[in-house]
Amino acid sequence: MLTYCTNIHPGETWEEVSTSVWQNVLKVKERVSPDAPFPVGLRVSARAAREATTESAVEFLEELGQSGCFIPTINGFPFGSFHGDRVKEQAYLPDWRSRERVQYTLDLVRLLNVWLPNGITGSISTVPVGYRAHLNRQDFPLIRENLLSVLKELEGAAEGGKRIILALEPEPGCLLETAEDAIRFFETMDFPQDFRPFIGLCYDCCHGAVMFEEPRQALFALEQAGITVPKIQVSSAVRLLRDHAAAAELFREPRYLHQTNVRRGADILPFGDLPDALLEGARMDEEWRIHFHLPLYDDGRGRYGTTNGFIPHVLACRPAGALLEIETYTYDVLPDKPASITDSICREFEWLRSRL
Residue 266, domain member (yes or no): no
Residue 287, domain member (yes or no): no
Residue 254, domain member (yes or no): no
Other Cβ atoms closer than 10 A to 316? 11
Residue 284, domain member (yes or no): no
Tell me what the mean pLDDT of segment 168-176 comes to.
98
Residue 312, domain member (yes or no): yes
Q: What is the pLDDT of residue 110?
A: 98
Residue 61, domain member (yes or no): yes
- Cβ-defined contacts of 36-39 (< 8 Å, 24+): 36/68, 37/68, 37/69, 37/70, 38/3, 38/68, 38/69, 38/70, 39/1, 39/2, 39/3, 39/69, 39/70, 39/71, 39/72, 39/73, 39/323
What is the domain range of residue 57? 2-237+293-353
Q: Which residues contact 175 (CB under 8 A, 6 or more apart)?
A: 128, 129, 130, 131, 132, 135, 181, 185
Q: Which secondary-structure segment (H or E) carries 295?
A: none
What is the Cα–Cα distance from 63 to 38, expressed in whole angstroms? 13
> Is the predicted pLDDT of residue 36 greater than 90, yes or no?
yes
Q: What is the pLDDT of residue 285?
A: 65
Q: What is the pLDDT of residue 85?
A: 77
Amino acid at 119: G
Residue 283, domain member (yes or no): no
Tell me what the mean pLDDT of segment 316-341 comes to.
94
Q: What is the pLDDT of residue 86?
A: 84
Q: What is the pLDDT of residues 233-267, one digit of tens each?
A: 999 999 998 767 778 999 999 999 999 999 888 89
**What are the backbone angles phi and psi of residue 138, rounded to the nearest 5°?**
-65, -20
Note whether 150 and 113 are within 8 A (CB): no
What is the Cα–Cα distance from 162 to 119, expressed in whole angstroms? 8
Residue 262, domain member (yes or no): no
Alpha-carbon distances of 274 from 167, 212, 303, rounded to whole Å = 27, 17, 17
What's the number of domains the chain is made of? 1
Question: Computed over its alpha carbons, how large is the radius of gyration of the chain?
Answer: 19
**Which of the four pLDDT bands, split at 50, 70 and 90, describes residue 217?**
very high
Burial of 128 per CB tally in 10 Å (0-12, 13-18, 19+)? buried
Nearest to 306 by CA among 320, 292, 319: 292
**Which of the four pLDDT bands, split at 50, 70 and 90, describes residue 133?**
very high
Other Cβ atoms closer than 10 A to 24? 17
CATH number assigned to the domain comprising residue 160:
3.20.20.150
DSSP state of 9: S
